[in-house]
Chain A
């Protein structure tokens, strides 16, 4: 290596080690004795991770990227050896997107930790909460730094598990328990696809790697995205149902990504996941874990681009999800649920941005990561702001809030900034990334997706302004709302920092840092036409919401809702997807598969066993009648038998 690596890169393992050991120490030793201290130690550890991630980012940036950024794996060790060419090396991969995610994850995580110190104050499970939060941070960092697909899968399951623990944090509340189970099982179902995809990639990767010899490891991303290897993959030909094997494998992997990123139709767990404490929703279900699916596709982007068809599926599902969720978001009354559907919609945005990218038009790749970056800040801000409001009014229902503008000035100001950012108004961060996504969609010739994207931009501005007006404007609608107080400073500091980031993040020269291929060609500034269209959609959305909700009341919108009738009810009930899933699992799988199997086992298989026992007993007792104790009977049997035997012998001889 021509460059001597700096401290952070040489000791890259620390990025995983700090939160991991903090998790162990906090969880095993500090939590049972001093929950308060547990929270503080956990927070400090994550701040340390953040500091380390920044140092690492600075060192990596100083390596320069004039002829494309290098991918390096400064640290790894053999963790799990399946067989030759199939060993899993736990390590840290350093390339632009992993550095980006490390920075985003540690930044948001440390702010959420800090915020939680205030928000969770006085909760019974304070120590437990921070233990899981630390575990989550570790798992998420292990996910973004994974140099091979199996470490990704491992971390993937771990973030799922820590998300499960945090959604079910209020474990005495049945709805939280249900939501945590649902989240785990739905994403597990999606992970089944991921696992199968890994099996296929591993199998054929192994064939390719063992042909090549050397020390190639089939699971390594560097191996999988090597042009030569990708060529061999695409030459594998058709697998199942005439779908090329590569496409099949990628679609299965994408199924995992779609589960985690809650793409339609696997989206049903995310709105329910809002049962967790609000800071958890901000960290896990808005800024970090749910973008794992987007990150996975970006990580394997060269393979997806080679396949082509798989990427189209990503694009269409993403675009559909973004519209679908945005429509539902307009009708929900729970502030966190609106934000959850908004997250779904924005994730769809990121997904279709990746989907429209290709080797020729890689702008979508940059745009998607850009949006991931900006969205993390303003969506975390929205959730934390919502948390601050909920903390003050003790309700999630927007119709129980109102008039908080003056009572909670900091929360209000930061929430307003985040709303403008997500609505895509210049100079807030969302404007830049959204513009780039729309430009990517149009530039690659996906006019339909571009139109949908524009529509979603309008809807986003509308539903976000709706909750903004109803929550902060007009008059207080309940007792709690009229006596609301601003949150403590420990909760406000993260809000302010995130607000600054929500403004500033858009000005980062992102295209210089994250881009696909060395070409600068498409990485451009602002396209005035697209920017105007996007801004117009945003302004229209905000204006429409202002017309309907500026006094914080539901009367005017109620007229529209009634006019829409059944259509409105359909949307408000989220197109009855939850009911559909419940029907399939409870009525069909439990009642028509599981119960019959249990019955079959007890009555048919075990019946067979009992039957053999019974027949032995019956036979035994039948035969026992032969033992009469009468010598005469025995004698006659003996003589009769002897005669029969002699007779048969004589017959045989003849």
Chain B
């Protein structure tokens, strides 16, 4: 079994180990989960190193490549008559997403250290979920991809429905149904790709060699883009996200907002834009308009929220807008920015939900107006929250700035297929979010953490425990490392974005490179 299979199997084995542990031994269950995910983190680091060895020498030649290059490929025929295979591989984009997921699940397990209710089922489902996520990022056969995708979405229903808070059944149902609607669009699009290509294969790398007729691309692109967009909180299909996040338990919110929503941007880039460049050119502007709405709408929506989780969820809607905005900009900087933003937002929002869980665990409220002056009693959590906030408003030195500057430049530079003036106008509108974000982040956090302690009970509260410090510390460090040394991540992903850009330019009318 290859390295990549191990990346998928390790969480699954850990889940099995959890299942075979007696339910009352909750400490064992947590330690097993922690060791499993910790080992996964090490394995991810090793894989990254291996990948880097293989990919670095080729970075120069990728500048003109039309087809993506997979590394550490594993290819086993599965349903041969249908051309379905077990095809794993990794390129820079999936590598960065695997790193992200591995960090989030590790910190997520630490952040769930206080879960006592049905701990066994909780951790098992969490690990199954993350198995699906790794599967999605590593599989390059659309069928396998879709299968893992469903594996990732379904445990969510149970996790929210059982361990959630508030109107949890409603939220779980809404989330699952809306994502299923996206899946329905996806499966239609995938089957269309399969049939129209006439190649009897779901292999993404093979399908990229096919030329899809423009009439097909015209409807398949929006189907697939919206299908993924639902998961990426594309306006107006985002409303599952505030409810879902608000109801979900901490680790689930972390995984969901941190990783699962990234599947949307990932798929939109990888499948929709890469395979259907003509469709992308036709629909690019349409989706830029929608995502511009996303960006501003989410940030304005966040200003008046009272519940910290809704607050973060709307902020996510805005930040995920940047991902799809970058993808829809259809140029190198935009798409690179999209991937950077996926990584950055994943870590950032993981941090936010972890912190909200920790604060809620102490104050037993998530309502912003009921809190105040918490920095005095929980300085560690306050500092981490502020760092997350600063990263989210795009302060240089954290990953958010790297991503957003790419996306803004990408939008402003435009592409040869879209009206430059409209794109620039949209970009200018989108940039306004940096002010609105500063407003809601600073207002919200000042109310919660600064000023005098409003409730005398708060004086008895404690600061972060060791597990919480490790969990939040890792996330904060990740934000800072990417922000201070952005070249690490950029070198990793840039070469893998080039084929997508080059294909856009190669198909149809070729115009000067942007």
Contacts and interface: CB of A to CB of B under 8 A. Distances in A.
Interface string A179-220: 001001100110110011001101100100000000000000
B396 A196 contact: no
B333 A172 contact: no
Contacts of B83: none
Interface in B435-483: 435, 438-439, 442-443, 446, 449-453
Interface residues of B, number: 57
Given A195-B408, A609-B174, A613-B177, A181 B442 contact: yes
The interface residues of chain B, by DSSP majority, are classed as helix
Contacts of A188: 393, 434-435, 438
B451 A80 contact: no
B454 to A, nearest CB: 11
B113 interface: no
A2 interface: no
Interface in A140-195: 150, 153-155, 157-158, 161, 168, 171-174, 177, 181, 184-185, 188-189, 191-192, 195
Contact of A171 (B304, B332, B395, B450): B450
Nearest to B449: A171
A639 interface: no
A199 B304 contact: no
B490 interface: yes
Given A157-B396, A158-B397, A605-B236, A172 B438 contact: no
Contacts of A184: 438, 442
Interface in B151-183: 174, 177-178
Contacts of B300: 593-594, 597-598
Interface in A591-607: 593-595, 597-598, 601, 605-606
Nearest to B396: A154
Nearest to A135: B397
Contacts of A171: 375, 449-451
B198 to A, nearest CB: 34
Contacts of B332: 83
A150 B438 CA distance: 20
B487 A78 contact: yes
A80 B174 CA distance: 41
Interface string B76-99: 000000000000000000000000
B301 A199 contact: no
Of the listed residues A195, A203, A594, A613, the one surrounded by the most CB atoms of chain B closer than 10 A to its CB is A594
A583 interface: no
Contact of B239 (A82, A154, A189, A601): A601
Interface in A64-88: 78-83, 86
Given A161-B395, A174-B451, A181-B443, A82 B435 contact: no
A613 B393 CA distance: 36
A80 B412 contact: no
Contacts of B494: 81
B433 to A, nearest CB: 10
21 contacts: A81-B490, A82-B333, A82-B405, A83-B332, A154-B396, A158-B397, A171-B375, A172-B452, A177-B450, A185-B438, A188-B434, A192-B431, A192-B432, A199-B409, A202-B412, A590-B304, A594-B303, A598-B304, A598-B305, A605-B239, A609-B178
Given A80-B486, A606-B243, 7 more contacts: A158-B396, A185-B438, A199-B408, A202-B409, A593-B300, A601-B242, A613-B174
Interface of A: 78-83, 86, 150, 153-155, 157-158, 161, 168, 171-174, 177, 181, 184-185, 188-189, 191-192, 195-196, 199-200, 202-203, 206, 585, 590, 593-595, 597-598, 601, 605-606, 608-609, 613
A-B pairs with lowest CB-CB distance, top 4: A154-B396, A594-B303, A606-B239, A188-B438
